[in-house]
Chains A and B, each alone.
Chain A
């Protein structure tokens, strides 16, 4: 069972205080978007063996959503950061690159 640090209230807590929300940094495609864009937004998800960005909500704590950069294999947590961003912060990207040189980067 994971432990995560909520960047919004600073609490480090076990997974049962959180609610997992799937892949982070999705771009919404609404009315007027092409079928392929809408399909990708709704249904296509990454399932990487390794570095992954996820949405989590501190549901039993401060109630805030945040994002986590995590290794799906080793379960290492590279960092957590507030949800109000379209891409991971530079320092987290740098940390991942130093720990996983083979990682292809955020795309």
Chain B
């Protein structure tokens, strides 16, 4: 299957004062339900605990991001997602919970470099000084929805809908372009 599958903008990359790159195929599963009630199934299948509000938990190749009071997003290798979805479904049988693979509904970008905040500040109405590694913030980037996952001190992953991948890449590249450093964040 994987040789048929392509991400939204394979290989797209832009180097400015921060580097923007399309992250390739990323497995993603939406899990909706009472986050307390699904915790055991979630950790059994993914190895990750239920994240606190606007946090990310991680275990090996899997991570779980808090999306809303009754929703988390599971991140896993792309080709592992269908099987993981099935296992989650089985583990949650009988519970009021909904599991859906959404890997292909989204595009994922990495923004790397110490000045990632300065780039994203041009697009998102967010005080990035309040965000550190392990945080997720859902917001908008210019005119489209975006989820920003802070994965390290100098790296974030930005998730948007697949259909707007080119738009997102264009506005991220322009925001990170050399010469436009705003020197906003230390």
Contact = CB atoms under 8 A, between A and B. Distances in A.
A11 B139 CA distance: 10
Contact of B54 (A11, A14, A17, A64): A11
A9 B54 CA distance: 7
A61 B69 contact: no
Given A13-B125, A17-B125, A60 B69 contact: no
A62 interface: yes
A10 B53 contact: yes
Contacts, number: 36
A60 to B, nearest CB: 4
A8 B69 CA distance: 7
A63 B125 contact: no
Contacts of A8: 68-69
A16 interface: yes
Contacts of A61: 138-139
Interface size classification for chain B: 10 to 19
Contact of A16 (B53, B69, B125, B138): B125
B127 to A, nearest CB: 9
A102 B18 CA distance: 54
Q: Tell me whether chain B's interface is mostly helix, strand or loop, or mixed.
A: strand
Interface string A58-75: 001111100000000000
A8 B138 CA distance: 13
A10 B140 contact: no
A33 to B, nearest CB: 31
B140 A16 contact: yes
Interface string B121-164: 00001100000000001111000010000000000000000000
B67 interface: yes
Contacts of B67: 62-63
A62 B68 contact: yes
Interface string A27-43: 00000000000000000
16 contacts: A8-B69, A9-B68, A9-B69, A9-B138, A10-B54, A11-B54, A11-B137, A16-B140, A60-B138, A61-B138, A61-B139, A62-B67, A62-B68, A62-B138, A63-B67, A64-B69
In the A-B complex, list the 7 residue pairs whose CB atoms are closest, starting with the nearest.
A62-B68, A60-B140, A61-B138, A14-B125, A60-B145, A8-B69, A63-B68
